[in-house]
Amino acid sequence: MTTTLSPDTARQIVPPEERYAAELAFLAAYDDGPRPPAWRLTPRAVVTFVMGSDGRALRLPEGAETPEGVPRRLTVEGKFVGDRSLVERCVVTLAGERGLLLVGEPGTAKSMLSELLSAAVCGTSGLVVQGTAGTTEDQLKYGWNYALLLAQGPSRTALVPSPVLTAMARGGIARVEEVTRCLPEVQDALVSLLSERRIAVPELSGTDDALAHAAPGFNLIATANLRDKGVSEMSAALKRRFNFETVGPIPDLDAETALVRSQARASVERAGAPFKVDEAVLEALVVAFRDLREGRSTEGWEVERPSTVMSTAEAVSVAGALGLAAAYFPGDRDVLGLLPGHLLGVVRKDDPADAARLRGYWDGPVRRRAEQGSATWRTLWDLRTVLEG
């Protein structure tokens, strides 16, 4: 049986321009200040879309035209947990038509931030090239419909634009994920593209389509993991074409716990199950991730850091797994008892020796907290044998 996807087919992930369509329409009417060429929102409204309205309900100005289906009063949800000044710098960079490069450890929401910025600025986050060792220059520029190419020869109709070329034509934002995983010759294609803001099509020489120029508003957001810095080091020429912004881990424990809770709850509820993970379990999970990530416990005790990145994204994944276990196997086992095994699975991904570092964490902060009378950490200490597997 063949399954046909339609616009109404349920999806695991809804792009931000669709998920937050009402907010985007509201903010377009709410702030009528100056906008860079081709931008859907003002820079200030873009920041509000990403960071939220701090729980305040915003009201459309008197006399402002209300888009169909959009309320006159709306509280904008905060979507990115981080430094507001970072987001403001990103927006200013894009408004200045300079490339933006978001760098940081894996799992720090670089891709999510690039999606949100793209959706707010140009209305779509889907013009994206995923950087890998197999990414070709054609994927950054253009390809060909070979059936039309053979039938008609080189022509504009036979040309297949890349997401970058499409963004140039529309005056939109293109995204390049994991740019340092691309081979140097592919990265070099970005240098001229960001400098000259045009793509040459030699096959169409002598026609008006031989040069594709960027429309006002075109820009590019790239992301790069610090762990991949040495895969394909960016050239100095390419680095000069970008403003670098570092996206770091969430500094506040309560904010990270709230994010892990909300993201894990959403994941479990998408599976059609209720989220039943106690707050004490969630807090222990986030504290353990933060201790191992930072190399120091919340009390100031030294912790040997594993080589694996203990990211917030990984914490969300573990919390979601605990939520699904609680929903699908109710009463079979205490959810807290599953936490050591999941942590072991996370830390062993890159280096088997990290299992010993996790046991060292158990023998240090976990044991000390248990001795200080914490029931949650006492239970975790009693489960140390799980880490011997």
Quick one: 232 and 325 in the same domain?
no
User: Is 133 contained in some domain?
Assistant: yes
Check which CATH number belongs to the domain holding 241 and give it.
Answer: 3.40.50.300
Quick one: 123 and 106 in the same domain?
yes
User: Is 43 contained in some domain?
Assistant: no
Quick one: 312 and 334 in the same domain?
yes
Quick one: 234 and 102 in the same domain?
yes
Write down which residue in 213, 246, 279 finishes a domain: 246
Backbone angles phi, psi at 71, to 5 degrees: -70, 160
Burial class from Cβ neighbours inside 10 Å (0-12, 13-18, 19+) for residue 144 reads middle
Secondary structure (DSSP) of 152-221: H-S-TTTEEE-HHHHHHHHT-EEEEESGGGS-HHHHHHHHHHHHH-EEE-GGGTTSTTSEEEPPTT-EEE
Q: Are 163 and 129 in contact (CB under 8 A)?
A: yes
Average pLDDT in the 41-50 region? 98
pLDDT in tens, 307-340: 988 999 999 999 999 999 999 998 777 899 999 9
pLDDT surpasses 90 at 229: no
How high is the pLDDT of residue 230?
65
Q: Token pair for residue 33?
A: 């200040």
Burial class from Cβ neighbours inside 10 Å (0-12, 13-18, 19+) for residue 223 reads buried
Quick one: 242 and 257 in the same domain?
no
Amino acid at 331: G
pLDDT in tens, 184-222: 999 999 998 999 999 999 999 988 889 999 999 999 999
User: Is 191 contained in some domain?
Assistant: yes
User: Is 15 contained in some domain?
Assistant: no
Average pLDDT in the 343-357 region? 91
Please give the residue range of the domain that contains residue 119: 83-246
User: Is 49 contained in some domain?
Assistant: no
Q: What percentage of the chain reaches a pLDDT higher than 70?
A: 97
Residue 239: which residues within 8 A CB-CB, separation 6 or more? Answer: none
Amino acid at 170: R
pLDDT surpasses 80 at 234: yes
Q: How many domains, in total, are found in the chain?
A: 2
User: Is 65 contained in some domain?
Assistant: no
How high is the pLDDT of residue 4?
57
How high is the pLDDT of residue 228?
73
Give the whole-angstrom CA distance, residue 280 versus residue 375.
10
Quick one: 147 and 212 in the same domain?
yes
Quick one: 312 and 370 in the same domain?
yes
User: Is 54 contained in some domain?
Assistant: no
Q: Are 156 and 165 in contact (CB under 8 A)?
A: no
Write down which residue in 246, 280, 310 finishes a domain: 246
